[in-house]
Amino acid sequence: MSFDHQTSESGRPSGLVYAFVVGTITVAAFIEVSKPPRAFAWVTYLCALAAVAVTGAAVVVGTAAAPVRDDTAGSADRLRRPGPAYQPEAGTGTGTAHERPIDPRSDSRQPTLTWPYPQRSTLPPPAAQVPSPRAVTALSAQDELSKAPKFGRGSSAHSKPWRIPARPFPNGIAADQAQVGPFAVRGASVVGPGHRCGGRGGSGSGEPRQDAYRIGRTLDDRFVVLAVADGISNAQRSDTGATVAASRAVQILRGMLDVHSDPAELDALAVFKQTAEHVANAAADRQAASRDVATVLIAAVLQVPDRPGASARGWAAWVGDSSGWILNAAGTRWEQRFGDTKNQGEYASNGVSSALPDSPEAVRAMEFDLRPGAAFALTTDGIADAWGNEAINRYFAQRWRAPLPAAEFLNDVDFDAPQRMDDRTAVVVWNGAGS
């Protein structure tokens, strides 16, 4: 009996045919067993029942073993058609598209992996995610620095590309984050727009960052030691002077604190004379005059309180206009407590009358207390001058009421404001704040 004319698309009999066969055998078996009994009737009954069972089993087994119809018939053709996971490449002069098979790694059923094991694919991203050449060429230094706080109209120099100095130079950016006992410390220094943009017109070489800072501690963690230096702009190697002054001042103070456990016993003149000697030696090593490495300097020491929630004793000493600030109790503005004001003295270009290595005897020192929850800052005039503006001062008071991540702190130091071209450096300590 042929079922060719009743088969489905996949080549196997339809369910209707199976039902017909099973029904016929079953009816025939019951007709047979309904007749009057004959000899060996039990054999007849047994055979009939066996026939029904075998037929039913054959139907079940046949259905399970039969090939399942592939609903993706013609899928091989569809794999070659453009779809969400595939984009044809343009032909190479033939007017045709070169097709590629889908990368199995792009299958949406695959698990999506995240860092540190990102899912990779050789397929191009969707067209909407690919920036146009016009968008790429539109990227500029302004886009890269767009996250920096901007006050007023900002400055044109801030958005110009950074230029590389003609001679070896220190990093244009520096940042640090630390915790010493109850003290949370942040430090950041950025070469100013006026030094990094290549001068008027932005076509020349850049100038090195002339600010420097150092953060240190004593081995017993009882003291945090800070120093901030600002090289004089018209000094040819002021970046060298600032770097040496900041690093040596911290080193000298750490040595003194190993002997004197009370900040009040520190000898500011001795600290600055020794620092000046190192700065002068650095100039001699480079066959330069002391004026070529001129820098101002402010250094500070904070003693870890004896008990949690207590005020910290502090000591600060300085030569020149790098300054020390304390955030007021209301947290609404920074108030200057240390550092000289600018005047028209010997270093008239910066309005500074004293600097190292020539004038260590001009050092001044002061003790202070830093109450719990208060913040203390050392800055160069690139920030201090801006804080003379009440709006900018309030912004930084609000932003720096509590410690920020180092990257955010650095971003704030690189603020954009009209006529603020100088390098910017700040080191801030919060008493009783976690990092």
Residues paired with 347 in a beta bridge: 352
Query: 39-53, 229-243, 373-387: lowest mean pLDDT where?
Result: 39-53
Percent of the residues in the chain that have a pLDDT greater than 70, as a whole number: 62
Average pLDDT in the chain? 77
Place of tokens 């209301």: 330
pLDDT at 371: 96
- In Å, what is the CA distance from 363 to each residue of 36, 257, 270? 133, 19, 10
Place of tokens 């500011």: 268
How many Å apart are CA 421 and CA 291, to the nearest integer? Answer: 22
How many Å apart are CA 87 and CA 221, to the nearest integer? Answer: 62
Place of tokens 């990094």: 196
Q: In 10 A of CB 362, how many CB atoms?
A: 17
How many Å apart are CA 83 and CA 237, to the nearest integer? Answer: 63
pLDDT category at 159 given cuts 50, 70, 90 is: confident
Q: What is the DSSP letter of 290?
A: G
pTM of the model: 0.66
Tell me the CATH class for 157-431. alpha beta
Note the pLDDT tens digit of each residue in 54-72: 566 655 555 544 444 444 4
Q: Which of 278, 181, 160 is nearest to 229 (CA)?
A: 278
How many Å apart are CA 177 and CA 295, to the nearest integer? Answer: 25
The verdict on whether omega for the bond into residue 116 sits within 30 degrees of 0, i.e. cis, is yes
Percent of the residues in the chain that have a pLDDT greater than 90, as a whole number: 53
pLDDT at 385: 96
